Amino acid sequence: MKGKCLCGDVEFYISGSLPHFYQCHCSLCRKLSASSSDTATFLNKAQFTWIKGESLVNSYITETGYRSDFCSKCGSTVPHLMSNKKQYWIPAGLLDDAKDSRVVAHLFVESKAHWDIIGDSGAQFEEMPDMETLNNALQRSN
């Protein structure tokens, strides 16, 4: 499966099975996405390959460590290697063909915007669950 930014200058390839998605409703993800939440997934480092444009990726990291990588040409949020160095964070909106994917988890629902109504049956976590719990929730066998 391929993914790319808005201008198409940053492109990547995902091999193997794509985990399902989560939506994070924290204030930082709302600001990043300019919406009610940010939809993404995590996958193993070995499944991810840059096709082109890796040199166009810039990073913004807050004092708390919250990270956003983006295309320096069009501003689209793009994947990044997570601090555990084992997984890539993948923004769902960049994926070209994720037809059978669905949102299975909602994070930080305790701090979601008051106007945000979660309308699916995905698991809801008041805050951030531990990574093992979240990774297990995203797997397609669930």
| Domain membership of residue 44 as a residue range | 2-138
Residue-wise DSSP of the chain: -EEE-SSSSSEEEE-SPPP-EEEE-SHHHHHHHTSS-EEEEEEEGGGEEEEE-GGGEEEEE-TT--EEEEETTT--EE-EE-TTSSEEEEEGGGBS--TT--EEEEE-GGGS-TT----S--EE-SSPPPHHHHHHHHSTT-
Chain segment 98-138, per-residue pLDDT in tens: 888 999 999 999 999 999 999 888 999 999 999 899 988 99
pLDDT digits (tens, 9 = 90+) for 78-102: 999 998 999 999 999 999 888 889 9
- Which residue in 121, 84, 118 sits closest to 102, CA to CA? 121
CATH of the domain at 52: 2.170.150.70
The whole-model pTM stands at 0.89
Banded pLDDT at 27 (limits 50, 70, 90): very high
Which are the contacts of 58, defined by CB distance < 8 A and separation ≥ 6?
A: 69, 70, 71, 72
Q: Give the C-alpha separation, 137 to 122, whole Å.
A: 9
Number of domains in the chain: 1
- Token code pair at residue 47: 């499944």
The tokens describing 127, both together, are 């805050």
CB 106 within 8 A of CB 37: yes
